[in-house]
């Protein structure tokens, strides 16, 4: 096992960036009433009883001392059209609150207009954690709004929706691929050119995938990202969507029945594992999203 002192900080930061998160702006007031705020994606719900949440703040941040001493703070979860707000509060601009719309909320905490959710908290506990402070807040008030969240993945923003931006940001790296698990006539569509594989896009974009299938007389309908993982064999990423497809089967394709998915001899072991999971998901009537590597990872259930 590697000694923690020998870990490469840059590589570790990139590894942390593999976890897609939302984006928040954390706000408070100085003793003289001046509003302060910073952008953070290290936001986590902690407890419902009592209602607690946490955010992490670098000790080197200009506002670290202010937040450590403040009796209250607020967390604003940004919507997908608030990239500029995120960038503003990640900067060292001296007049951040003069450049965005905000409203005084409970405990006079600054709340960002247009946020998807806001939480006003009392400073419940301050934990010293290496080069960061963990601010644990006890929630006294909260509000929510309709909309899509602003996401952050590997140093880039994305909008959740169909997760297209996230998938294509991951697949844009050299050695990456983008494909799909497409249900069709009681089975799954496979490419068969002597070796079985799932349909892949000529270029690692969703538009490229759908255009390629459409050009062959098929009509794909994409639902959501089914698997996104680091493929160490190529040094890139693999992103596979879930969906359905209709139309006359073109040459070089076949339908693999659901009953045969678990024993399918696919050329790519990761795709073979994916079809085993698909068969299980289909039986359970509840689909999931996989993330990890080509061999090990975690799944998150989506529902029926």
What percentage of the chain reaches a pLDDT higher than 90? 51
How many other CB atoms are found less than 10 A from the CB of residue 153? Answer: 20
pLDDT at residue 18 in the model: 66
The closest of 228, 215, 254, 217 to 172, measured between CA atoms, is 228
> What is the token pair recorded at 135?
């601010």
Query: What average pLDDT does the segment 56-75 reach?
Result: 94
Residue 231's pLDDT is 80
Q: Which two structure tokens, joined as six digits, stand for 50? A: 């009592």
Q: How many CB atoms lie within 10 A of CB 183?
A: 19
If one compares 185 and 105, the residue with the highest pLDDT of the two is: 105
292: left (phi over 0), alpha (psi -120 to 50) or beta: left
Give the tokens for residue 93. 């601009």
**φ, ψ of residue 87 in degrees (nearest 5):** -65, -40
pLDDT at 26: 97
Confidence check: pLDDT of 214 > 90: yes
Does residue 303 have a pLDDT over 50?
no
Structure confidence at residue 169 (pLDDT):
58
What are the chain's domains? 4-152 (2.30.110.10), 162-303 (3.90.79.10)
* pLDDT at residue 23, rounded to an integer: 93
Q: Which residues of 269-298 are buried (b: 16+ CB within 10 A; e: fewer)?
A: ebbbbbbebbbebeeeeebbbbbeebeeee
What pLDDT score was predicted for residue 304? 44
Q: What is the pLDDT of residue 33?
A: 95
Q: How does pLDDT run across 74-117, given as a tens digit for each residue?
A: 999 999 889 899 999 998 888 899 999 999 999 999 999 999 99
In which band, very low, low, confident or very high, does the pLDDT at 302 lie, cut at 50, 70 and 90? low
221-239 residue pLDDT tens: 887 788 888 887 777 788 8
Q: When comparing pLDDT for 223 and 128, which is higher?
A: 128
- Report how far residue 181's alpha carbon sits from residue 187's, in angstroms, rounded to the nearest whole number: 10
Q: Report the C-alpha gap between 204 and 214 in whole angstroms.
A: 16
């Amino acid at each position: 096992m590697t000694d923690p002192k020998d870990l490469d900080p840059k590589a570790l930061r990139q590894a942390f960036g593999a976890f897609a998160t939302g984006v928040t702006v954390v706000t408070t007031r100085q003793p003289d009433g001046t509003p302060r705020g910073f952008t953070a994606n290290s936001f986590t719900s902690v407890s419902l009883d009592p209602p607690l949440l946490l955010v992490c703040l670098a000790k080197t941040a200009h506002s670290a001392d202010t937040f450590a001493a403040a009796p209250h703070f607020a967390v604003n979860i940004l919507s997908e059209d608030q990239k500029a707000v995120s960038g503003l509060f990640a900067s060292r601009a001296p007049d951040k609150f003069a450049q965005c719309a905000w409203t005084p909320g409970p405990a006079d905490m600054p709340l960002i207009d247009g946020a998807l959710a806001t939480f006003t908290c009392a400073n419940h506990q301050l934990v010293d954690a290496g080069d960061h402070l963990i601010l644990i807040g006890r929630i006294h008030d909260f509000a929510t709004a309709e909309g899509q969240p602003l996401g952050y993945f590997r140093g880039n923003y994305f909008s959740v929706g169909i997760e297209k931006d996230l998938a294509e940001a991951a697949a844009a790296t050299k050695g990456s691929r983008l494909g799909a698990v497409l249900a069709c006539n009681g089975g799954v569509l496979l490419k068969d050119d002597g070796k079985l594989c799932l349909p892949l896009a000529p270029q690692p974009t969703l538009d490229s995938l759908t255009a390629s299938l459409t050009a062959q007389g098929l009509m794909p309908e994409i639902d959501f990202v089914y698997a996104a993982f680091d493929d160490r064999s190529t040094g890139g990423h693999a992103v596979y969507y879930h969906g359905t497809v209709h139309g006359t089967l073109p040459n070089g394709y076949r339908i693999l029945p659901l009953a045969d998915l678990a024993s399918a001899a696919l050329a790519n072991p990761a795709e073979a594992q994916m079809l085993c999971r698909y068969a299980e998901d289909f039986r359970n009537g509840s689909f999931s999203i996989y993330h990890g590597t080509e061999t090990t990872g975690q799944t998150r259930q989506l529902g029926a």
